């Protein structure tokens, strides 16, 4: 087997995936509503062809041949080999009927979840959730390598090399840090006024503003586009085509503004992967956590920066003539950083957000490493919200039914969100050693920030693991103290805590 | 071989084609500009897989097996068999190197054509055109069945069973009819005023109007969508997903209005094909000419109707408040039907349009059945414009370089446009025997018109040939007199010819 043959097979798999990505994008951005059955046929046919190749004879042969001959591969070939081997090892031994049982259960579970949301009653989702958990538990032995616990196995599907041991420690620190900041703000802080944030900004005005902002940040519209959707996402088709999406609320411009800045962070990552990896499985983000670190770097780290807003507030006023003329810069800036306990994760602010994640992490651990019964989950959920956030859901829709993840079997995914946030804060401190962050954001040229992220993160695609990237970029392993210090700085400033 | 196996193979081919259709739509409606190389890779890979199946062992086996066993096929299977056999017979014997030579030449020719448009000089396109013609001539022997002339062979690729003998006769009648109408208008007519047509209507106003109009006409937005593009088109992915596109000019609302009405006609055809044909090559329009008859029925036959505009003019005024308040209905209606000789086909009006087509038809006949030299074509083109339309291009961009067709090898395609127009006028007369056309267009319910077209044309997809459809729907073969009478009625009315 020659490297060329291996790479050609990977390219053909990748071309199917690119076609599927466009079809998926279309499905979520404006496919005619009645086209969904036919679309399902097209997608499952192409998906099947790609899957046949992924576990097919060529790939098997390549894995065997190159196992002890990696020196015959170029650097790109070696990186591709590692990713392919990992994916193959993960899934090839699973009996087909177990895989089909899960995929059948998941598609039913989505319907049950939607039904339960309508009834606001966990009972309508309970059986489906129990089945999802049971079938996932059955797969863990096939996935398991040397992980310490079953939940570690799930974690690793989204964040390679992450462990319960690490997370227990960092989440404890983050939780204590946030609770302590919240206490200080409550006792000594002054809450900012946010009334004017609901002033009307038309979609056209918001679009002009946010397109201007993300272009300055370095999202390249000649290799991307912005479309409307219901649940915003970024989809990386290849490094020349990384598309972002948003929804709009004319009485809350912050939703689309921070949403698009967030998705643009994902898009900038995909756009900046070294083109040498194209047509291989290396040409994508390395993990959910690292991906989220890039979107949150944009949304929170840059999007909470005072110098950034000093520069952008006049542009915002230009895009919405007259709307914010009576608002001082300081009042405007402070309004963006109000914090308040809330029940819904995706509506929460950048101080309380990690608490929502920690609650889910603790519950998932109980499910897979512990003894929690499915029937007890709503009570556990609600108790934890009361304990950590001081508020209690009035119904299951405000509680355990709010997220789609468990209905589609994504157990172990949630921690990525908080990991991304911690990575982002840690990357900021490392970046500051080389880049005058505030000064750059006050200037007309934001490129030093993107260049730093591209140099240390983006370019590598999936050729390095998350822990490797963080260690090399910042000189240390994951350290939650950066996030806690960062939160203190931002919120004590806005809340005028001396 | 069982029918089921044959239909399954056709379905898989069709699923590739659906994926390719979405990719093609995306390429033309907003794909990021730098994504085109990667997109080319995806498209040619999927195209190759589809082509391998189309000429592959399963299809060959099915064609052999069912050749004398068509009674083993259902009605759908039989219709599919006929279409597949025709396509296969047309192309399977062509040596691969001849096919590749043509496809290589075409992709170069497109570049030459674009270059020549920039220089406005035919010389830059000459060699590429000569090559396209030569390579096409080399394929004609492989395509030829029992056609009387080489050009008949090309015609039949777009309009099965159409012949030079028929076209010579009907085009002579149409040309004489139009020239005679134009003479009458010039001598006795009063030209309508069109000044106010350039009044500004925003894209949003135009969009509201035209979406309202095509929805009333029967285009189903739950099985379609409208997007912006540079060269408007309709693409039928399946009967639940037939998408239309347009471009906008804020100082000429008629462009997008008639453009969208036109494309919606194509879309309504694809949306109304009997679903029993889905996943087979029968599930599409039967010919370019019949397809064009449906778009032109919408755009010209309905779009020139006085009762239609009596109903729609108030809606237009509602969409563009104040813009046309000072314009009487009669002045407005007349303005839409001004006729004037023009050099550019796609900007021409509904009286002179067929002359543009006839000129191209005569030149294509000279190229393939006659002795025209490539170097003489610009002169021939210009002379014919002077003869038929009384105006002469000042450069080749206004003349022979205006259309893309010859650069992509579509010789024999042009007549479809005029055929569609003649079919549309003939269908109108047949429809009028069952539907009170003016009364329906004056009412709130246009469905009787679409129902008639679906019953007689749309539902059959490609299961009937154009001449069969026209004969069954109208009781006679193609008769150009309906078009001439129709033009007289419309233009003598607008130009107040007593």
Q: Which pLDDT score is estimated for B99?
A: 87
Q: Which pLDDT score is estimated for B444?
A: 95
Q: What is the pLDDT of residues A240-286, one digit of tens each?
A: 999 999 999 999 999 999 999 999 999 999 999 999 999 999 999 99
Mean pLDDT of B357-377: 96
Which residues of chain B does A237 touch, with a Cβ-Cβ cutoff of 8 Å? 35, 38
Q: Helices (DSSP H) in B189-252: which residue ranges?
A: 203-217
Q: Which pLDDT score is estimated for A1?
A: 83
pLDDT of residue B261 exceeding 90, the answer is yes
Q: Which pLDDT score is estimated for A91?
A: 84
> Model confidence at B117, in pLDDT bands (50, 70, 90)?
very high
Mean pLDDT of A31-52: 92
> Model confidence at A329, in pLDDT bands (50, 70, 90)?
very high
pLDDT of residue A390 exceeding 90, the answer is yes
Is the same domain home to A344 and A477? yes
Is the same domain home to A415 and A349? yes
Residue B171: name the closest of B361, B342, B377 by CA: B361
A-B C-beta contacts closer than 8 Å: 89
Domain for residue B462, yes or no?
yes
Is the same domain home to A345 and A360? yes
Mean pLDDT of A168-193: 98
Q: Is A26 on the interface with B (CB under 8 A)?
A: yes
> Model confidence at B371, in pLDDT bands (50, 70, 90)?
confident
Which residues of chain A does B273 touch, with a Cβ-Cβ cutoff of 8 Å? none
Q: Which pLDDT score is estimated for B258?
A: 97
Is the same domain home to A188 and A228? yes
Is the same domain home to B238 and B345? yes
A18–B22 C-beta distance less than 8 A: no
Is the same domain home to A433 and A388? yes
Q: What is the pLDDT of residues A417-448, one digit of tens each?
A: 999 999 999 999 999 999 999 999 999 999 99
Option in A22, A45, A221 nearest B23 (CB): A22
Q: Which pLDDT score is estimated for B186?
A: 96
Mean pLDDT of A192-196: 97
A32–B225 C-beta distance less than 8 A: yes
Q: Which pLDDT score is estimated for B29?
A: 92
Q: Is A74 on the interface with B (CB under 8 A)?
A: no
Q: Which pLDDT score is estimated for A227?
A: 96
Is the same domain home to A159 and A145? no
In this structure, what CATH number is given to the domain that contains residue B356? 1.10.1370.30
pLDDT of residue B260 exceeding 90, the answer is yes
Asked whether the beta carbons of B372 and B380 are under 8 A apart, the reply is yes
Q: What is the pLDDT of residues A58-75, one digit of tens each?
A: 999 999 999 999 999 999
pLDDT of residue B152 exceeding 90, the answer is yes
Distance, in Å, from the CA atom of B469 to the CA atom of B488, rounded to the nearest integer, reads 26
Of the candidates A263, A270, A299, A364, the residue annotated as catalytic is: A263
Contacts of B153 (CB under 8 A, 6+ apart): B140, B143, B144, B147, B412
Residue A487: name the closest of A263, A69, A184 by CA: A184
Q: Which pLDDT score is estimated for A273?
A: 98
Q: Which pLDDT score is estimated for B447?
A: 98
Is the model more confident about B320 or about A93? B320
| Residues of the binding site of B for Zn(2+) | 262, 266, 292
A86, A121, A149: which is the final residue of a domain? Answer: A149
Option in A34, A220, A279 nearest B240 (CB): A34
Scan residues 210-269 of B and list those with Cβ closer than 8 Å to A. 220-225, 237-238, 240-241, 243
> Model confidence at A146, in pLDDT bands (50, 70, 90)?
very high
Is the same domain home to A251 and A364? yes
Q: What is the pLDDT of residues B409-456, one digit of tens each?
A: 999 999 999 999 999 999 999 999 999 999 999 999 999 999 999 999
Domain for residue B135, yes or no?
no
Q: Which pLDDT score is estimated for A219?
A: 98
Is the model more confident about A103 or about A339? A339
Domain for residue B139, yes or no?
no
Mean pLDDT of B369-374: 91
Separation in Å, CA A393 to CA A265, A342, A362, A382: 32, 9, 18, 6
What is the strand order of the sheet A226-228 is part of?
Answer: A226-228, A241-246, A234-238
Q: Which pLDDT score is estimated for B146?
A: 93
Distance from CA of A450 to the nearest CA of B (A): 20
Is the same domain home to A239 and A124? no
Domain for residue B150, yes or no?
yes
Is the same domain home to A239 and A329? yes
Distance, in Å, from the CA atom of B297 to the CA atom of B420, rounded to the nearest integer, reads 8
Question: Residue holding tokens 């000594």?
Answer: A188
Copy the structure tokens of residue A19: 């076609």
Contacts of A373 (CB under 8 A, 6+ apart): none
Domain for residue B433, yes or no?
yes
A149, A168, A193: which is the final residue of a domain? Answer: A149
A240–B41 C-beta distance less than 8 A: no
Please count the structural domains in chain A: 2
Domain for residue B110, yes or no?
no
A103, A127, A149: which is the final residue of a domain? Answer: A149
Determine the structural domain holding residue A480 and report its residue range: 150-498
pLDDT of residue B1 exceeding 90, the answer is no
Separation in Å, CA A75 to CA A219, A426, A459, B237, B291: 28, 29, 14, 41, 53
| Dihedral sign (CA A230, A281, A76, A460) | positive
Q: Which pLDDT score is estimated for B286?
A: 97
Domain for residue B62, yes or no?
yes
Least confident interval from A366-375, B256-265, B457-466: A366-375
**What is the ipTM for the molecules in this complex?**
0.91
Least confident interval from A11-20, A42-51, A199-208: A42-51
Distance, in Å, from the CA atom of B165 to the CA atom of B148, rounded to the nearest integer, reads 9
Domain for residue B101, yes or no?
no
Q: Which pLDDT score is estimated for A164?
A: 98
Q: Phi and psi at residue B82, in whole multiples of 5°?
A: -60, -45
A12–B222 C-beta distance less than 8 A: no
Go through B288-304 and write b for each residue having 16 or more CB atoms within 10 A of its CB, e for each that does not: bbbbbbbbbbbbbbbbb
Q: What is the pLDDT of residues B311-346, one digit of tens each?
A: 999 999 999 999 999 999 999 999 999 999 999 999
Is the same domain home to B411 and B328? yes
Strand-strand pairing, A226-228 and B241-246: unpaired
Is the same domain home to A305 and A329? yes
The dihedral region occupied by A461, where left means phi > 0, alpha psi between -120 and 50, and beta the remainder, is left
Q: What is the mean pLDDT of chain B?
A: 96
């Amino acid at each position: 087997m020659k490297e060329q043959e291996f790479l050609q097979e990977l390219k053909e798999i990748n071309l199917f995936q690119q076609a599927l990505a466009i079809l998926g994008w279309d499905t979520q951005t404006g496919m005619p509503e009645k086209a969904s059955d036919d679309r399902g046929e097209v997608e499952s046919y192409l998906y099947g062809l790609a899957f046949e190749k992924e576990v097919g004879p060529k790939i098997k042969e390549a894995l065997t041949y190159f196992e002890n001959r990696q020196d015959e591969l170029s650097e790109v070939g070696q990186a591709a080999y590692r990713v392919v081997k990992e994916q193959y090892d993960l899934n090839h031994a699973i009996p087909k009927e177990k895989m089909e049982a899960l995929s059948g259960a998941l598609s039913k579970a989505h319907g049950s979840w939607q039904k339960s949301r309508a009834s606001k009653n966990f009972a309508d989702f309970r059986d489906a959730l129990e089945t999802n958990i049971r079938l996932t538990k059955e797969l863990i032995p096939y996935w398991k390598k040397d992980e310490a616990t079953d939940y570690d196995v799930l974690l690793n599907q989204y964040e390679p090399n992450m462990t319960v041991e690490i997370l227990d420690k960092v989440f404890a620190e983050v939780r204590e840090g946030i609770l302590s900041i919240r206490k200080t703000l409550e006792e000594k802080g002054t809450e900012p006024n946010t009334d004017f944030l609901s002033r009307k900004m038309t979609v056209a005005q918001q679009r002009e503003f946010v397109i201007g902002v993300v272009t300055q940040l370095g999202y390249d519209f000649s290799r991307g586009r912005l479309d409307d959707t219901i649940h915003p996402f970024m989809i990386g088709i290849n490094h020349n085509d990384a598309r972002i999406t948003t929804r709009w609320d004319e009485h809350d411009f912050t939703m689309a503004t921070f949403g698009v800045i967030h998705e643009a962070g994902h898009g900038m990552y995909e756009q900046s992967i070294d083109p040498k990896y194209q047509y291989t499985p290396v040409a994508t983000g390395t993990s959910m956590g690292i991906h989220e670190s890039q979107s949150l770097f944009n949304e929170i780290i840059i999007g909470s920066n005072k110098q950034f807003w000093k520069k952008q507030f006049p542009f915002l006023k230009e895009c919405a003539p007259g709307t914010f003329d009576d608002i001082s810069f300081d009042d405007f800036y402070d309004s963006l950083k109000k914090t308040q306990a809330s029940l819904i994760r995706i509506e929460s602010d950048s101080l309380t957000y990690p608490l929502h994640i920690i609650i889910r992490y603790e519950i998932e651990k109980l499910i897979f490493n512990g003894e929690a019964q499915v029937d007890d989950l709503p009570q556990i959920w609600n108790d934890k919200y009361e304990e950590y956030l001081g508020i209690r859901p009035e119904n299951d829709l405000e509680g355990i039914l709010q997220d789609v993840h468990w209905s589609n079997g994504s157990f172990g995914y949630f921690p990525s969100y908080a990991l991304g946030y911690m990575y982002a804060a840690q990357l900021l401190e490392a970046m500051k050693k080389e880049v005058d962050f505030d000064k750059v954001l006050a200037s007309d040229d934001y490129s030093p920030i993107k260049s730093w992220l591209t140099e240390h993160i983006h370019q590598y695609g999936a050729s390095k693991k998350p822990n490797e990237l963080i260690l090399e970029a910042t000189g240390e392993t994951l350290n939650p103290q950066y996030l806690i210090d960062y939160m203190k700085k931002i919120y004590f400033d806005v809340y005028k805590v001396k």
